[in-house]
Amino acid sequence: MLKRCAIVTWAAMAATAAGAGMPPPLDPATCKQSGSLMRLAGLGEASGLVVSRATPGRFWSHNDSGKPVIVSFDSKGNVTGHLAIGGARVEDWEAMATAPCGSGSCLFIADIGDNSAKRGEVTIYRVPEPAKPGGSAQVDAVIRASYPDGAHDAEALLASPDGTLYIVTKGDTGQVGLYRVPGDARGGATLRLEPVGGPLSKGTPAANARITDGAMSPDGEWVALRTKTALIFYRSADFLKGNFREARRVDLTALGEPQGEGVAFGPSNTVYLAGEGGGKSQPGTLAVLSCAN
């Protein structure tokens, strides 16, 4: 069972930050590009993206096919290591998330892609986050899960501060939906995903409006979902109850991403965006948004 951690309330965090001279809380209404689009050499697909909880300045990403390997890189897009994941296989890796885990943090790698909507179950691999950026790491839990309403393609995995996992479906085989992973993450029998609220979309969304990734802020205040052309913010307290009212939508077309794929919350009111390259031989991209007054 994943260790649950208390969620810090937004008001308490804001008061603490103000008293300590820290940056103000993240404000989606102020999000704007910071710097230019960077290239991720050697990472052509960049399907998932997370900011390390163990090592400041480190990022993790992965391709959606090939060997079970995740890639570490820095805030400038420089690749710093390749980490082979023992005990995992790749069918269609599409997302990553990170959350507190025991006395440290864990990476969750989501093999949840299903372009034809035919898979009987999807898989999430849990890996204790290592200190080194390369080498190898071993899966310590394999979470297998199925949808209660038939197969779905998905590219977004959310992890709340208490370790609860959620999948947001993409919407290319029907409506976009939110599903909770039951709390027992020790592996074993296939779990049944729990739908949360109704659909997020009215019918099948247009190709550029389908969900290609999602993330939850470390303080638990915000959920961000991205498409190829937009970044959509929701208040977590509403979103995780099935109230999918948008708080803010940010147009991403000016970034010039070949194909927008990943999103992760960073420190100091930043949001990072990863994109696939112009093909497997072309590098992926990394963009930074500053979201503070």
pLDDT, tens digit, for every residue of 40-79? 887 878 889 999 999 999 999 998 888 999 999 999 999 9
Amino acid at 183: G
Sign of CA dihedral 60, 65, 69, 71: negative
Which helix (H) or strand (E) is 124 found in, with range? strand 122-128
What pLDDT score was predicted for residue 2?
39
Burial class from Cβ neighbours inside 10 Å (0-12, 13-18, 19+) for residue 211 reads: buried
Q: Minimal CA–CA distance to 240: which of 192, 170, 181?
A: 181
CB atoms within 10 A of CB 48: 30
Compute the average pLDDT of residues 100-125.
94
Q: Which pLDDT band, with edges at 50, 70 and 90, does 231 fall under?
A: very high
Answer yes or no: is pLDDT of 94 > 90: yes
In the CATH scheme, what is the code of domain 28-290? 2.120.10.30
Q: What is the CA 1 to chain-centroid distance, rounded?
A: 21
**SS3 of residue 47 by DSSP:** coil
Compute the average pLDDT of residues 177-192.
83
What pLDDT score was predicted for residue 183?
76
Say which residue, 216 or 42, is predicted with more confidence.
216
Say which residue, 47 or 244, is predicted with more confidence.
244
